[in-house]
Structure 1
Amino acid sequence: MDTHITGRTAADIADSVRSLLERGVLEPGDALPPVRTLADRLGVNRNTAVAAYRQLTQAGIAVSRGRAGTRIVDRAPVPQEGFAAGSVLRDVGTGNPDAALIPDPSRALADVVGRPVLYGEPVIDRELEQWALEWLGADLAPRDIRVTVTSGAVDAVERLLAQALTRDDAVALENPCFLSAIHTVRLGGYRAVPVPVDEQGMTPAGLRAALDDGVRAVVCTPRAQNPTGASLTAERAAELRAVLADHPYVLVIEDDHFSMLSHAPAQSLIGAHHRRWALVRSVSKFLGPDMCLAVTATDPYTADRLAMRLSPGTTWVSHLLQRLAFSLITDPEVREGITRAGAHYAERNDSFAARLRAYGLPCTPGDGLNVWLALPAPARAVAEQLMRRGWLPRTGEEFAVDGLPGSAHLRLTVHELDDTDAERLAADIAEAVRAVSRSGSGMIDR
């Protein structure tokens, strides 16, 4: 393969590799020749070959694996949230809120239409900004806060990472992790460092190890962690703040996606003296995914950098959308509906967990839209059995930062099931586990 690469300078060598990739001679995942081998073949200094590979890595075309060498980046697709396309099976892995519990915006629409907003005007609706400052500031230690509006939480996280990091920088992610966070880090060219999650959220030992590994950013879900449903306790949040105390310039991003729906009190990793931080709250779970709006509180420095990341592109989120979100979240009837929705999700998850326990499958539901079920058997084998019975679940390995197979968990979205279907699913899971146990294939010693 190295005989196809040409060039005498680092730029020429990098351009040659890019050309080979565009023409299909090189493909994603292909290994590039070792630096010494390439330098000898081209008759150039070894440092020239190193510089060429550095250019390819910085451009996101190649990735360095240390002693394992340098490879063309493999853009393998990662799972996405939402309904599985084209399936005839009953999808119980969507991660979606209940459409029936999303408030109808039609009544508020007529009140939000005002004069047109023109270039150069403030990018944040003043009423929404003031409300967001109070809402977000109530759960942060007293400090100077700036508010930014983005097109959802994923948009906020992507832009926050982009304003602080360069390719190959390390990012601490919860493991297991929200699918969009894994996708964002991978496409950004950053290196994901997994931090284990237990029933209280991100573990202090895992965070400490990630910081020792040189992470420059930490992405954490303080409540209703997806997929596990874990929420930080006050004690765990204090432990994590203590770990971060010696790293005040590491960017801490809290994605509090469930916020108004959560029955857990807000806790934060962000200490009073932490210098680079962001608290992100979207409206997608309670006003609907199509609302595509999130408010982000940050320190002033990060706010300025985030604004710079917004300025070349969308510049601002539609003021019509901002006014609509503000009108809905300040409507007492809508707020009561959001409270009822949160109670509904909790009750349905609790009820389903009780059904599982009745079948001998221990399950303690967390917060959020899903149930995270630990199995006494490989999840993939159990999922295959469930598919034969008409169900389509999500296996835990889809949410693993390291991508390693062998998970013993299912993530189930069950809040839309009526009692009859919930009972049938619980019974089918128990039977699927028994079927895998009888086959003896890959059983896990618990």
Structure 2
Amino acid sequence: MHQITGSTAAEIADSIRALRERGLLNPGDALPPVRELAASLSVNRNTAVAAYRQLAQAGLVLSRGRAGTVITGAEAVAQEGLALDTVLRDIGSGNPDPAFIPDPTPALQRIVGRPVLYGEPVIDPALDAWAREWVQADLRRDDLRITITSGAVDAVERLLAQALMRDDAVALEDPCFLASIHTARLGGYRTIPVPVDAEGMTVEGLQAALEAGVRAIVCTPRAQNPTGASLSPARAAALRELLVEHPYVLVIEDDHFSALSQRPYESLIGPEHRRYALVRSVSKFLGPDMCLAVAATDPTTAERLAMRLSPGTTWVSHLLQRLALAQLQDAAVQSLFARAAEHYASKNRDFAEGLTVRGIPCEPGDGLNLWVVLPVPARVAAEHLMRRGWLARTGDEFRPDEATAPSHHLRLTVHDLDEDDTTALLDDLAAAVRR
């Protein structure tokens, strides 16, 4: 181990940081145990602990409990979307069907108006009024405020940043949306996994997370990605009851599939909960390139978000806001949404029935994807599918922690397959399980 120097926590942290920057300490390298470092530097043990804590808060080291403290690196994280560097048929993209994304051209002709200047409200007044009515129909909170962000991922990142510091604990669903995992890692937050079953977050899992001291919870109330689970009324009520004793834990609900969902909206946000955010993006029904989301929050959270969304820096274009509103209010577009919702539901339902007939029981959830439980490790099945020309995503990618047991799940995006491809994939998956 290269020589670490210093007599104060700040000096010791700076020494380790310098060794890291010069490449003398590399990602994965273990640092000396606290007691050993304190003895070698003739400092109090608490001084060494404080030095490591400073480095952890800066994201430069990672504490692994009894396994020690190691230098961190830029870890690769799986991303949503098409795999463009492959000749395989991608059945794990998680993308909406382009045929059900409305053409914005007619709406573009209706949004021309005077330019917006610095100092004006960051939210288009018409969109603010529409969004407030849209959200209050479900959330029923008189104190909510509306903020517009550049999509749901942007909203969740900003919401966590205004509430948490590095090494704070945040509860994430297990399995979890890939972007939420990435956001938590980049922010340096400790993730506390909360298992998800067919009715959403489990009561036992959330109880354990609250006992672990989480300061924020990220939850998907319906069409959970990757499982397709939606909160049942009974489960939502039980989770709200747990949160009565924790009114200042920030509850973030990512209702990404709202306009297309086949399930009613159920919420963790109780009538007296003090810190909350309901986020609804438009990417699943207006297209991923429409980077816009509505965040309905309590007044305190709204004020903190506003400080990070000032005019001229990170506000959302008023042209984009007007374009989104023009489409959302269009009767023809709303009709397209209804057809899209039925398309995704029926395609997933038919594929699940095909799997069940072939001996792989599958229950379709809500959303764009199917979560398939296999009797064999998912990687084994995925490798077999790869040899048959398919690229699937295994459940291993959607874990918010470093689990060691292999996943037995595949997340499949099948709504864009024609009849022949559907039959071929069903047969190939059945063969993969038999092998």
Normalising by the smaller structure, the TM-score range is over 0.9
Contact kept in structure 2, 1:310 and 1:316, CA below 8 Å: yes
Q: Cα deviation per residue 1:308-341 (whole Å; 9 max; x = unaligned)? A: 2334983310000000000000101001101111
Question: Could you say what secondary structure the match of 2:372 adopts?
Answer: strand
Q: How many pairs were matched up?
A: 434
Give the counterpart letter for 1:29 in structure 2: G
Contact kept in structure 1, 2:226 and 2:411, CA below 8 Å: yes
Separation in 2, partners of 1:269, 1:156: 18
Give the counterpart letter for 1:260 in structure 2: A
Summarize the alignment of residues 257-336 of structure 1 with structure 2, pairs less than 5 Å apart. 257-311=256-310, 314-336=313-335
Summarize the alignment of residues 186-265 of structure 1 with structure 2, pairs less than 5 Å apart. 186-265=185-264
Contact kept in structure 2, 1:174 and 1:219, CA below 8 Å: yes
2:97 equivalent in structure 1: 98
Question: Could you say what secondary structure the match of 2:99 adopts?
Answer: helix
Contact kept in structure 2, 1:397 and 1:403, CA below 8 Å: no
Question: Could you say what secondary structure the match of 2:35 adopts?
Answer: helix
Contact kept in structure 2, 1:141 and 1:271, CA below 8 Å: no
CA displacement at 1:47 relative to structure 2: 2.8
Question: Could you say what secondary structure the match of 2:110 adopts?
Answer: helix
2:151 equivalent in structure 1: 152
TM-score scaled by structure 1?
A: 0.95
2:87 equivalent in structure 1: 88
Which blocks of at least 5 consecutive residues in structure 1 are unaligned?
436-446
Question: Could you say what secondary structure the match of 2:425 adopts?
Answer: helix
Q: Cα deviation per residue 1:215-237 (whole Å; 9 max; x = unaligned)? A: 11111000100000001111111
Give the counterpart letter for 1:352 in structure 2: F
1:338 equivalent in structure 2: 337
Separation in 2, partners of 1:218, 1:391: 35
Identity of aligned residues (%): 69
Summarize the alignment of residues 58-97 of structure 1 with structure 2, pairs less than 5 Å apart. 58-97=57-96
* 1:393 pairs with 2:384: no
Identify the range of structure 1 (304-313 vs 210-219) with the bigger mean alpha-carbon deviation. 304-313
Separation in 1, partners of 2:312, 2:363: 44
Question: Could you say what secondary structure the match of 2:138 adopts?
Answer: coil
Contact kept in structure 2, 1:143 and 1:272, CA below 8 Å: no
Separation in 1, partners of 2:205, 2:47: 38
Separation in 1, partners of 2:49, 2:336: 59
2:21 equivalent in structure 1: 22
Which blocks of at least 5 consecutive residues in structure 2 are unaligned?
none
Contact kept in structure 1, 2:118 and 2:312, CA below 8 Å: no
Q: Cα deviation per residue 1:71-101 (whole Å; 9 max; x = unaligned)? A: 2224311110001131111000000001121
Give the counterpart letter for 2:49 in structure 1: V
Summarize the alignment of residues 342-421 of structure 1 with structure 2, pairs less than 5 Å apart. 342-404=341-403, 405-421=405-421
Q: Cα deviation per residue 1:27-62 (whole Å; 9 max; x = unaligned)? A: 122211112222222233333222221221121111
Q: Cα deviation per residue 1:176-200 (whole Å; 9 max; x = unaligned)? A: 0100011111111111111111111
1:133 equivalent in structure 2: 132
Identify the range of structure 1 (274-283 vs 43-52) with the bigger mean alpha-carbon deviation. 43-52
Contact kept in structure 1, 2:12 and 2:51, CA below 8 Å: yes
Contact kept in structure 1, 2:290 and 2:320, CA below 8 Å: yes
Give the counterpart letter for 2:120 in structure 1: E
1:444 equivalent in structure 2: none
Separation in 2, partners of 1:76, 1:371: 27
Q: Cα deviation per residue 1:366-419 (whole Å; 9 max; x = unaligned)? A: 000001100111110011011011101110111112232411111000000011
Question: Could you say what secondary structure the match of 1:289 adopts?
Answer: coil
Contact kept in structure 1, 2:199 and 2:230, CA below 8 Å: yes
Separation in 1, partners of 2:412, 2:104: 29
Give the counterpart letter for 1:167 in structure 2: R
CA displacement at 1:142 relative to structure 2: 3.3
Identify the range of structure 1 (28-37 vs 381-390) with the bigger mean alpha-carbon deviation. 28-37
Identify the range of structure 1 (217-226 vs 61-70) with the bigger mean alpha-carbon deviation. 61-70
Separation in 2, partners of 1:286, 1:321: 15
CA displacement at 1:162 relative to structure 2: 0.6
Give the counterpart letter for 1:233 in structure 2: S
Separation in 1, partners of 2:188, 2:166: 5
Q: Cα deviation per residue 1:333-357 (whole Å; 9 max; x = unaligned)? A: 0011011111100011011111111
Residue 311 to residue 14, structure 1, CA distance change in 2 (3 Å): farther
Identify the range of structure 1 (43-52 vs 270-279) with the bigger mean alpha-carbon deviation. 43-52
Separation in 2, partners of 1:66, 1:179: 25
